[in-house]
Amino acid sequence: MAGHKAGDPLECYSIPLVLNKDADLDDEGNPVIGQDGNPRHRCGFKIGGGIDQDNTKCPYGYPDKGIYVTYIHEGGPAARCGLQVHDKILQVNGHDMTVVTHRKAVEYIQRKPQLNMLVYRKGVPNLGHQEQHQQTQFQSFTQQQDYPIAYQ
């Protein structure tokens, strides 16, 4: 079966998205407070998948046990940030979403009012291994004697 196995490296170009959730309001326009005492927020999308799910029974035919977007609420935060149905969520606020259970994925998504996500979208052109002068994610800097680097 083609696709990505959980835990294996995934070679793709990820799309960074920032989703700012909407406050969850009751019928009178008051913020809804969760059981933890914090205001609840709506993200405007639903997910499917997870390492505890059987992807062969998925009606969308996803090739692996990743976390996929299955629904986007029209006009909601997910639609406004550019998230699309069938996007594969690779990361949320620094958490790896390629090897999580469905429940853990929901917890990561619900945790904060802003989601910094990396997604994979089918159909994004494969740029291959062409030599390009691209900036790498991490850069090294030469430490000068007068300015010691502090790690926190």
pTM of the model: 0.73
Q: What pLDDT score was predicted for residue 119?
A: 96
Q: What are phi and psi of 137, to 5 degrees?
A: -65, -40
Would strands 15-20 and 114-120 be described as parallel, antiparallel, or unpaired? antiparallel
Q: How many CB atoms lie within 10 A of CB 141?
A: 6
**Would residue 110 count as lying in a domain?**
yes
Q: What pLDDT score was predicted for residue 127?
A: 53
100 in Cβ contact with 50 (< 8 Å): yes
- The neighbouring-strand residues paired with 19 are 115
Counting the structural domains of the chain, the total is 1
The token pair that represents 25 in the structure block: 């309001």
Q: What pLDDT score was predicted for residue 134?
A: 44
Could you tell me the CATH number of the domain that includes residue 78? 2.30.42.10
The token pair that represents 96 in the structure block: 């790896």
**Would residue 65 count as lying in a domain?**
yes
Q: What pLDDT score was predicted for residue 6?
A: 67
The distance between the two most distant Cα atoms of the chain, rounded to a whole number of Å, is: 61
**Would residue 98 count as lying in a domain?**
yes
Q: What is the DSSP letter of 39?
A: B
Q: How far apart are the first and last CA of the chain?
A: 44
- Identify the domain containing residue 64 by its residue range: 42-120
Q: What pLDDT score was predicted for residue 132?
A: 44
Helical segments of 13-127, H only: 77-81, 102-110
**Would residue 148 count as lying in a domain?**
no
**Would residue 3 count as lying in a domain?**
no
Show pLDDT as tens, one digit a residue, over the chain (152 residues): 456 666 676 566 789 999 999 999 999 999 999 888 889 999 999 999 999 999 888 888 899 999 999 999 999 999 999 999 999 999 999 999 999 999 999 999 999 999 999 999 987 655 554 444 444 443 333 334 443 444 43
**Would residue 86 count as lying in a domain?**
yes
**Would residue 150 count as lying in a domain?**
no
Q: What pLDDT score was predicted for residue 133?
A: 42
